């Protein structure tokens, strides 16, 4: 039973204000987990692998609950200029670079999950800390040390006689110490009593010489005066280095503000490690999780509920159609040239502002910089293997959305030729994910689920009935999950929390449908469909192109289709009457954009040639983010 009433707010979870933006965000977050059982298991496995490789006690692995899909060109923009092989590719994408940078620099606001928040970013918080750090006192101390610099070390740009005498007697003292060490290694347990007496007498003599060297060092080598001056000099150097570090970082931000070219500034550059993960398999590993392991991982995740919202883990799931999950994963480290966390651990750092930077254990917006993102948990080539009994008709139904966690799957059943394994693939075309048609289908699916729940009588559960999910006093957004991948226009660095209000439905003791893999929705219109056959072939060889991705979006209706061609470059789709825009993509080919219109239900065949071009289409899903906690900063 999920209860989000004020009195039942779990410890450690911020109270939710109904009607406000925080409530809207949280309900969207809750809904995004409706089909996340094995997605949570996948995350749990990556979390365990990461901690088996890392021993940093300040690391915090956080799940990303909403859909975060990045295409290769998005991340390539963030590379430092020296690593971009084609500088012309960045010329028209300055705002896009800034936008992706704001996303990946989002600070976590909870220790339960990570999601993008472009209004609370690392460079904004870091710059504010640098601007308000207590360095005035340090600067004054440094000036005082410079003014009172003792001329016993350097005089007129040259070493003083006193300092030269200090070095001379220091070397003599060190020489005597070496002599004593050598003598101690010459002890012989088998020596005669007379030899032992001679050895002991020599040791006494060497100690006397050492004491004499020390006395000369103190008197003739000005030991105390020189070391006092050196101590002052070292303090001065430490303060100078610390202030230089602060100033060098501030210069990144000051230059961009003064020249009004923030989007061109190096603050948006990110050094990825491994840097070439986008172009090849560097850093990538394959993982196969069968149903038993997925179930076991989910149980572990529930046991680790202090790091996942209990409201999410309490939902009952039905993953009956999934047999296993296979994917490639990589841990991509994010290094920023302007960010240096060492300033916080320096004894010279001062912070006297009212809002604390960090307490070393709490992750929340109450702190200026409680943790920062440093490692992406990326997934690609995700395959959802299904049970053999599943039918093509069930998968290919257009009146449904197929989810794996926040990811959306293609409504096409794929079959491995060798193993005959049936599986699903994810939609990796970001234009499709962002399309109005897909958002419409998501809303229809959500409304259908709510309509079904409203008209379904609440009944007591029995041992033989399927369990239902119930909630009490729970407000849900109509939107099934946060899907926005990009922000419109230029992202403001200010913390403006205003955003459009979402209509919310107040539900009381309503049963929800089980969290199934397939989410049905009702279009309430009998649509006449035409069977459309696509033939995609190479313009030179005339051979069909295998695994060619077709994105079909209605221009006069709210329909969207994502399919792939077979080995012969062919695929057929039942498409309702209407006008459509077609985008065809395949690695090594130029993107093909076409449009077509279906005026009746007669079968139609479309044949399109594709031209060769060195283009790679790769997409990565951000499953989680590793954030490093900032140690407690004393005030």
Strand residues in 135-209 grouped as ranges (E):
154-155, 158-159
Q: Are 569 and 544 in contact (CB under 8 A)?
A: yes
pLDDT band at 318 (very low <50, low <70, confident <90, very high): confident
pLDDT band at 538 (very low <50, low <70, confident <90, very high): very high
CATH placement of domain 529-616: 2.60.40.1120
> What pLDDT digit, counting tens, does each position of 407-442 carry?
999 989 999 988 999 999 999 998 898 888 888 888
Closest by Cα among 43, 198, 19, 174 to 112: 43
Helix (H) / strand (E) containing 450: helix 436-454
Six-digit token pair at 544?
């069909």
pLDDT above 80: residue 311: no
Domain boundaries, the chain: 2-130+266-382+465-509, 143-241, 529-616
Residue 33 contacts residue 501 (beta carbons within 8 Å): no
| pLDDT at site 31 | 39
Give me the count of residues in the chain. 635
Run of H or E residues at 452: helix 436-454
382/410 Cα distance (integer angstroms): 12
Mean pLDDT (whole number) for 262-279: 80
Residue-level pLDDT at 356: 87
Q: Answer yes or no: are the C-beta atoms of 221 and 170 closer than 8 Å.
A: yes
Query: pLDDT per residue over 76-107, tens digit each?
Result: 888 887 676 666 665 556 777 888 888 999 99
Q: What is the pLDDT of residues 288-303, one digit of tens each?
A: 999 999 999 999 988 8
Whose CA is closest to 398, among 512, 530, 513?
A: 530
Q: Residue by residue, what is the 3-state secondary structure of 254-270?
A: HHHHHHCCHHHCHHHCC
Band (458; pLDDT cuts 50, 70, 90): very low
Sorted by sequence, the CB contacts under 8 Å of residue 578 that are 6+ apart come out as 554, 555, 556, 557, 559, 597, 598
What are the tens digits of pLDDT across the range 50-60?
A: 999 988 888 99
Among residues 373, 487, 332, 485, the alpha carbon closest in space to that of 125 is found at 373
H/E run at residue 400 = strand 400-404
- 93 Cβ contact list (under 8 Å, min separation 6): 73, 77
Question: Which tokens belong to 400?
Answer: 């449904």
Residue with tokens 């130029």: 590
pLDDT, tens digit, for every residue of 180-225?
888 888 877 778 888 888 888 888 999 899 889 889 888 888 788 7
pLDDT in tens, 578-617: 999 999 999 999 999 999 999 999 999 999 999 998 888 8
Buried b (16+ CB within 10 A) or exposed e, 531-565: ebebbbbbeeeeebbeebbbbbbbeebbbbbbbbb
CB atoms within 10 A of CB 302: 15
pLDDT at 54: 86
């Amino acid at each position: 039973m999920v209860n989000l009433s004020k009195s039942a707010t779990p410890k450690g979870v911020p109270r939710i204000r109904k009607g406000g933006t925080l409530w809207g965000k949280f309900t969207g977050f809750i809904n995004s987990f409706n089909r996340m059982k094995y997605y949570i298991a996948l995350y749990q496995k990556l979390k365990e692998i990461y901690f088996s490789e890392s021993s940093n006690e300040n690391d915090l692995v956080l799940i990303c609950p909403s859909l975060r899909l990045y295409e290769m060109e998005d991340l390539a923009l963030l590379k430092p200029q020296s690593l971009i092989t084609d500088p012309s590719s960045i010329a028209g994408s300055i705002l896009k670079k800034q936008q992706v940078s704001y996303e990946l620099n989002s600070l976590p606001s909870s220790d339960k999950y990570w999601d993008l928040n472009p209004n609370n970013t690392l460079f904004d918080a870091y710059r504010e800390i640098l601007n308000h750090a207590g360095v005035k006192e340090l600067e004054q101390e440094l000036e005082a040390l410079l003014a009172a610099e003792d001329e016993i070390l350097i005089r007129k740009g040259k070493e003083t006689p006193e300092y030269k005498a200090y070095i001379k007697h220091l070397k003599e003292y060190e020489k005597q110490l070496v002599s004593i060490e050598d003598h101690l290694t010459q002890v012989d347990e088998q020596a005669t009593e007379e030899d032992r007496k001679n050895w002991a007498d020599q040791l006494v003599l060497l100690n006397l010489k050492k004491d004499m060297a020390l006395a000369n060092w103190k008197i003739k080598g000005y030991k105390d005066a020189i070391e006092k001056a050196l101590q002052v000099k070292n303090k001065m150097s430490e303060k100078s280095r610390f202030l230089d570090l602060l100033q060098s970082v501030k210069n990144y931000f000051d230059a961009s503000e003064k020249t009004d070219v923030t989007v061109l500034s190096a603050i948006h550059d990110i050094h990825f490690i491994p840097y070439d993960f986008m172009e090849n398999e560097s850093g990538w590993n394959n993982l196969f999780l069968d149903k038993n392991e997925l179930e076991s991982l989910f149980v572990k995740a529930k046991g680790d509920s202090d790091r996942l919202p209990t409201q999410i883990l309490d939902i009952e799931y039905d993953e009956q159609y999934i047999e296993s999950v296979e994917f490639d994963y990589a841990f991509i480290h994010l290094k920023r040239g302007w960010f240096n966390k060492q300033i916080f651990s320096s004894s010279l750092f001062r912070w006297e502002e009212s809002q604390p930077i960090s307490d070393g254990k709490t992750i929340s917006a109450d702190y200026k910089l409680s943790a920062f993102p440093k490692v992406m948990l990326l997934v690609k080539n995700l395959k959802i293997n299904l049970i053999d009994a599943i039918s093509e008709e069930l998968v290919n139904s257009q009146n449904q959305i197929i989810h794996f966690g926040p990811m959306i799957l293609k409504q096409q059943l794929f079959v491995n030729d060798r193993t005959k394994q049936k599986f699903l693939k994810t939609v990796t075309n970001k234009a499709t994910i962002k399309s109005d048609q897909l958002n419409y289908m998501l809303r229809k699916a959500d409304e259908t689920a709510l309509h079904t729940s409203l008209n379904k009588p609440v009944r007591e559960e029995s041992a033989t009935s399927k369990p239902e999910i119930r909630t009490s006093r729970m407000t849900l957004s109509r939107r099934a999950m946060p899907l926005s991948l990009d922000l419109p226009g230029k992202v403001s660095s200010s913390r403006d929390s205003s955003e459009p209000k979402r209509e919310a439905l107040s539900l009381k003791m309503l049963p929800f449908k089980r969290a199934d893999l397939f989410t049905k929705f009702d279009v309430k219109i009998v649509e006449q469909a035409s069977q459309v056959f696509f033939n995609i072939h190479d313009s030179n060889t005339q051979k069909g192109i295998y695994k060619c991705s077709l994105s079909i979006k209605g221009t006069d209706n709210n329909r969207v289709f994502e399919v792939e061609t077979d080995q012969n470059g062919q695929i057929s789709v039942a498409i309702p009457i209407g006008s459509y825009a077609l985008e065809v993509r395949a690695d090594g080919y130029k993107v093909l954009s076409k449009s077509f219109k279906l005026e009746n239900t007669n079968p139609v065949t479309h044949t399109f040639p594709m031209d060769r071009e060195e283009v790679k289409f790769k997409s990565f899903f951000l499953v989680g983010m590793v954030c490093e906690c900032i140690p407690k900063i004393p005030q």
